[in-house]
Amino acid sequence: MKRNITSTDAVHAGDPKKHAFDAVPQPAVFTSTYTFEDSAEIVAHTEGTHPRADREEYGRYGNPTCRAVEERIAALEGTEDAVLFSSGMAAVTTAIFALTKRGDHVVLFSECYRMTREFVEHTLGKFGVTSSLVPMDANAVTGALTNETKLVIGEMPTNPHLRCVDLERLVASCKGRRGLKSMVDATFATPVNCRPASFGVDLVVHSATKYLAGHHDVLGGVVCGTRALVSLARDLRGVLGNVCDPHAAFLIGRGLKTLALRVEKQNATALAVAQFLEKHAAIERVFYPGLPSHPDHALARAQMSGFGGVVSFVVRGGMDGARRVVDRVAIPRIAPSFGGVDALIEQPAVMSFYEMTPEERRDKVGIDDGLVRFAVGIEEPDDLIADLAQALGESQR
Ligand SMILES: *Cc1c(COP(=O)(O)O)cnc(C)c1O
């Protein structure tokens, strides 16, 4: 397995040794605009000869706290640059808007973050961008490409079945086609487990709300890639105004310091939880890429250095069986989302897909009514497993 980033990287990568005021952490700078000494300084700023970062004339174009976090995330992802947004969806939608125009075509996979698909099919569709949905198989991309295809969007791993896309194949299918870019939402992987840019993926996006910030207390998103592509997203951010607040950036930057510690622990805990569940009589099926039974296990082993902190499983007894487990566990809180220090549990059929019929859920989005998504936090694995054991024991009665 490829080693990605270490805790030393998480603490230090992209962070200059000396900060303003000789502070240990990057100080947070709360300002909506920036002053100039005199008119000559404005001219120098406009001409690009002023030492201040070129964007920092007004808060919508840049902020030193956000900039520092962007540089650290770019260093962790191994990309030239990164740009922060107010949420993961702000990052995803701005990147897609920046790379497409009327008449273009976008390819995305059938297992895709629901709002990304909603945006591509409905919002982009309104602006004359067409799209195709392909099955979870990088080989399927080639057949869907047209002369108008500008973007292929994948996720690694996906929600909630933790499917993995073959990044090498994905990049190979995009190669040699003028203007075609690949984008991977690596929120579930984090740079600890997988760095898509190291496979040649053009743009890597994250909901920083999840693992990067890691404490369930802030929303944020980031787009990483070459300087040229990231600057397209940054310029559009200046127009759309979906900027990351410096206070949010400070929290994301603080969370990043413990990213590798947290994710390595979550990888180990989730694997132990998945192995426990797979042997349990009350469980029909477990989805975890670290298990040999997962359809993408071999691929995950080849392209990831850990399998993440989310385990999905189908409880016998359908809707009610899953509901009993969710309601009976004592440690995890019932909530959507994942990636933070607290364990969270939810039943996708109720949380995200309740308006569909059971048949639609099964056939259109592959969500079984008995499916539970369990996101481990940094709790002790034995405690989480004992808790699940008592909840599942009850569910059989
Ligand atoms: C949560 C999530 C998003 C959206 O991020 P927000 O910060 O909630 O806007 C996008 N993609 C994936 C894979 C996610 O899990």
373 in a domain, yes or no?
yes
Question: Percentage of the chain with pLDDT > 90?
Answer: 87
Does one domain contain both 31 and 75? yes
Q: Are residues 265 and 252 in the same domain?
A: no
Q: Cis omega (within 30 of 0) on the bond before 160?
A: yes
Atom of ligand 1 nearest to the CA of 155: 13
Contact between 315 and 377 (Cβ < 8 Å): no
Residue 91 within a domain? yes
Residue 2 is assigned to a structural domain of this protein: no
Is the CB–ligand 1 distance for residue 89 below 6 Å? yes
Ligand 1 center to residue 38 CA distance, Å? 43
> What share of the chain in percent tops pLDDT 70?
97
Q: Is any ligand 1 atom within 6 A of the Cβ of residue 190?
A: no
The answer to whether residue 371 sits within a structural domain is yes
Q: Is 60 a catalytic residue?
A: yes
Is any ligand 1 atom within 6 A of the Cβ of residue 187? Answer: yes
Please spell the DSSP secondary structure of 112-172, one letter per residue.
--HHHHHIIIIIIHHTT-EEEEE-S-THHHHHH--TTEEEEEEESS-TTT-----HHHHHH
Q: Which of 201, 224, 256 is the last residue of a domain?
A: 256
- List the catalytic residue out of 9, 185, 202, 368: 185
168 Rama sector, left if φ>0, alpha if ψ -120 to 50, beta otherwise: alpha
Write out pLDDT tens, residues 106-129.
999 999 999 999 999 999 999 999
Q: Point out the domain boundary residue: 256, 282, 317.
A: 256
Determine the average pLDDT of the residues in 276-293.
97
Q: Are residues 220 and 320 in the same domain?
A: no
264 & 244 share domain: no
- CATH number where 242 lies: 3.40.640.10
pLDDT for residue 394: 56
Residue from 164, 187, 252, 351 to probe ligand 1 pocket by mutation (most atoms less than 8 Å from CB): 187
Ligand 1 geometric centre to CA of 334 (Å):
18
The stretch 223-249 carries a mean pLDDT of: 98
Looking at the fold, whether 236 and 271 belong to one and the same domain comes out as no
> What integer pLDDT is reported at residue 397 of this predicted model?
46
Report CA(92)–ligand 1 centroid distance (Å). 9
310 three-class SS: strand
pLDDT of residue 358: 84
Please give the number of the atom of ligand 1 that sits closest to the Cα of 159. 13
246 and 280 assigned to the same domain = no
Query: With a threshold of 0.85, does the pTM exceed it?
Result: yes
Residue to substitute in 108, 155, 210 for testing ligand 1 pocket (most ligand atoms within 8 angstroms of CB): 210
How would you list the strands of the sheet with 221-225, edge to edge? 81-85, 221-225, 203-207, 181-185, 149-155, 105-109, 130-134
Which structural domain, as residue segments, surrounds residue 139?
7-256
Q: Which of 204, 228, 256 is the last residue of a domain?
A: 256
Q: Is residue 1 domain-resident?
A: no
Verify that 238 and 349 share a domain, yes or no: no
Q: Which residue has better confidence, 325 or 41?
A: 325
Residue 202 appears among annotated catalytic residues: no
Please work out whether the CB of residue 343 comes within 6 Å of at least one atom of ligand 1: no
Q: Give the Cα separation of 146 and 314 in Å (integer).
A: 38
Question: How many C-beta neighbours within 10 Å does residue 301 have?
Answer: 15
Q: Ligand 1 mean position to 252 CA, how many Å? A: 15
Q: What's the total number of domains in the chain?
A: 2
**Is the pLDDT confidence value at 52 over 80?**
no
* Residue 111 in tokens: 């297992």
Q: What's the gap in Å between 390 CA and the centre of ligand 1?
A: 31
Asked whether residue 158 falls in the same domain as residue 198, the answer is yes
Expressed in angstroms and rounded, the spacing between residue 207 Cα and the centre of ligand 1 is 5
Catalytic residue among 34, 113, 211, 288: 113
pLDDT of residue 353: 81
Q: Which amino acid is at 321?
A: G
